[in-house]
Amino acid sequence: MRKCLVCEKGNLEKVEDIVLDIEGYVFVVKGERCNKCKEEFPYEEETQKTITTARKLGVWPEPMKLYRHLSKSGGGLVFRIPTDLEKQLKLDDKTEIGITKVGNKIIIEPEK
């Protein structure tokens, strides 16, 4: 048996009842579950089948990639968030955001 990657105390046991909820659709897949912390690890092939099915159902869209120009304001650069994203993420001018640099990528996410 393999040790749990999360708690490092429990052992991973094979299971066939990992529940994945994607936009209200419930998928039950095979994988492994830690007998201590209960963390679940679906098998890669199960996850890929779930993603393929979710795409066919239209609940797993392709990643959104938008292109925008930066503008100058004062001494820095400004990035404008499109209105549709603002509404989807329920952002407003009081929303605090976190900005993270990962390699050459910038991750911008609302702080909860």
> 45 lies in a domain?
yes
User: Which domain does 92 fall in, by range?
Assistant: 71-110
| pLDDT of residue 94 exceeding 90 | yes
> 41 lies in a domain?
yes
| Statement to judge: residues 49 and 84 lie in one domain | no
Q: What are the pLDDT digits (tens) for 20-58?
A: 988 888 999 999 999 999 999 999 999 999 999 988 888
Give the number of other Cβ atoms within 10 Å of residue 111's Cβ. Answer: 7
**Distance between CA atoms of 64 and 85, rounded to whole angstroms?**
10
Domain tally, the chain: 2
> 1 lies in a domain?
no
| Statement to judge: residues 50 and 87 lie in one domain | no
**Distance between CA atoms of 53 and 47, rounded to whole angstroms?**
10
> 66 lies in a domain?
no
pTM of this prediction exceeds 0.75 = no
Cross-strand pairs, 99: 108
